[in-house]
Amino acid sequence: MGARKTDGHALPGWDMKTGYVIENDRWEALNHHGDTYWWVYIEEILDRMGLTAEPVHKKDLSNRLHQFRLLFLGNTDASDIADCITAWVESGGTLVGSLTTGLDALFGIKEVSRASQPEGDFSIAAGIDIRADRPETRGIRFPANKNLLLPIASEIRQVRPTSPNTIHLAQAAHESVITARNLGSGRAFYFGFDLAKTFWVVQQGRPVDSDYDGDGYLRTGDALVIGDFEPEIPCTDELLILLERLVGSCGMPLVHRLPPSGDQVPDALFYYGGDDEGSTGVQIPAAEFMNSRGLPYHINCMLLDGRYGLSARDISRLDELGVELSPHFNFINGFEHPTGFGKHDLHSQARAFGEYFGRQPLTSNFHWCRWTGYHEPAIWLSEIGIRGDNSFVHRRLDVLNPVNTIGFAFGTAFPFHIYAPGEDGNCRTPVIELPITAYEVGYTKEGTDYSTLERAFDLAIHYGLTMNFFYHPVYISQNQYCRKAIDRLLEYARQRHAKVVHFTPDTLVKWWEDRGRTRITHHRSMDGGQSFLVQTPSPIGCIVKVAYTGNPPKVALPHRVFENSTDLGWIMIVVPPGETEVELKYV
């Protein structure tokens, strides 16, 4: 795109729709036996990528294939439709296959070996290494972690290119696992593992039905599956960035994961909150400090021994400061350990919060990051109107309270939905998980530690993350080093000339819901440009990004051009609320 077309750019006049293949019969059969149809999680991946897509049943694919410009195909045997898919790619279609079989000739590969998950669905089959010297992959890895492997939580099909124009993009045990191939006017990308299963298993983890980490409690740390892989690598986010580069190379517009700041495009989003642990006298000083720095704040309020740590006067003052108040569910005190908790326990504390504070909470969390079962707490939260949770830990809980640490132990910094297992139909719950990522970073009891703080900042800017800076009110109010760390965060942003949006958990949940309802339709490619219609319910609008090569396209709306150190750049277009037609002109 730009002065010249990208490889696989749409032919003039194409209605550029995206589809993903779903096998309803297989889904139903697996669920009937209590098994999971992992591929349904492709919907979560496409939502996070900001790609408007629609499902197509495999049995209907040959009749509907002409409707799509881009197609995602999962772990299925596609040999019966190989001829029509090959012709579609040759005429300009883009195919993304994930552990797909029956199309090796199209992808230009042959199978060499397979690696299975050694301990069932909630284990890692192997690590993969993304190449750093290709336009599609260059710059994805954070420099300090560029030589570390990404965990894959599915069977892995190792392949070898058979065509001279099949490009190797990632490997496992010295054999290819991600490839790209130009074929006619189209492109074919192959992932030799189940993208959907890997994202699902890493991000949601295993059921918390035992004290797997041996800390004496059932907590979200027991759900972790990445083992000894480095938790400071947002592994599913790196795969997502690679995937959107591949998709972007064929001209598809994507809804950016970050919201606009007026008519500006930010580099990252930081959101702030902390738990009061039922304490008194710490919430208002903490909130006033954050307010004095121009930062929003969210306090999770804990019921301890039948009382809250805030008086009616305190609540009124926090409301004046614009502080969000939500429950900090306490299933530590008064519970046997390691055991779970139940729906009644959660609903009882939610009622107590509503009666005392007189408001409906939006985003809550669990004291000491407690959890039980798989998706059940998310269901119970949704039943009382809570739409967000902030309890998934940032790294393995080798200590009870791992302060001044960074991590993406669940693979991502971005919000994601909790899904149900096979026995409950693999449905997506309405609750959005906001993973903890930067926990009390920048200080210790003895002094400041700006190197850790700055590394958290650098990670967020490098990947363009929604980064959770978690600071308890007791530390903000009583520890000078904590306050100095927060000041250093703002100072470092100024020094880096970074554009950062500052949110709270509630505002992030609302943005993520609105973003998920944003649609890009009527997408047409034409000589000299392309156009599409953006419909967003977000009151602050959204950002749509389009990849280009050569010179960036011209657009009338506010925008920002990112000229990466690769052959592929992005133009970020700020789109107002409501319905907007966007037209790009190539120069």
Task: Summarize pLDDT for 280-313 with one digit per residue, the tens.
Answer: 999 999 999 999 999 999 999 999 999 999 999 9
Q: What is the DSSP letter of 329?
A: E
Regarding whether 487 and 578 lie in a shared domain, the answer is no
Tokens of 99: 């552990």
Whose CA is closest to 130, among 120, 140, 122, 144?
Answer: 140
Coil, helix or strand for 408? coil
Q: Flag whether 313 is in a domain.
A: yes
Domain co-membership, 497 together with 524: no
Would 323 be classed as within a structural domain? yes
Q: How many residues does the chain have?
A: 587
Domain boundary among the residues 486, 513, 540 is at 513
Torsion, CA 158, CA 162, CA 166, CA 172, rounded to 10:
20
13 belongs to a structural domain: no
228 and 333 housed in the same domain:
no
Q: Are residues 572 and 434 in the same domain?
A: no
Mean pLDDT of the 535-552 span = 94
CATH number of the domain enclosing 114: 3.40.50.880
In a domain? residue 64 = yes
In this structure, the answer to whether residues 211 and 249 fall within a common structural domain is: yes
Asked whether residue 2 is domain-assigned, the answer is: no
- Estimate to the nearest angstrom the gap between the alpha carbon of 317 and the chain centroid: 35
Instruction: Name the residue range of residue 549's domain.
Output: 519-585
Residue 354 in any domain: the answer is yes
- The reply to whether 155 and 284 lie within a common domain is no
User: Could you tell me if 119 and 181 lie in one domain?
Assistant: yes
- CATH, residue 337: 3.20.20.370
- Total domains in the fold of the chain: 3
Position 467 pLDDT exceeds 70: yes
- Whether residue 566 is predicted with pLDDT greater than 80 in this model: the reply is no
| End-to-end alpha carbon distance in the chain | 9
Give the residue from 255, 285, 308 where a domain finishes.
255
Per-residue pLDDT tens over the stretch 474-528: 999 999 999 999 999 999 999 999 999 999 999 999 999 999 999 999 999 878 8
In a domain, 107, yes or no: yes
**Are 303 and 203 in a shared domain?**
no
Tell me, yes or no, whether 379 and 395 share the same domain: yes
E-assigned strands of 65-115? 70-73, 94-98, 109-115
Q: Which of 495, 513, 531 is the last residue of a domain?
A: 513
488 with 534, same domain? no
Q: Which of 134-138, 270-274, 413-417, 532-536 has the lowest mean pLDDT?
A: 134-138
Tell me: do 41 and 88 sit in the same domain.
yes
DSSP 551: S
How far apart are alpha carbons 97 and 86 in whole angstroms?
13
Residues 159 and 62 in one domain: yes
Q: Decide if 531 is inside a domain.
A: yes
How would residue 249 be classed by pLDDT, with cut points 50, 70 and 90? Answer: confident
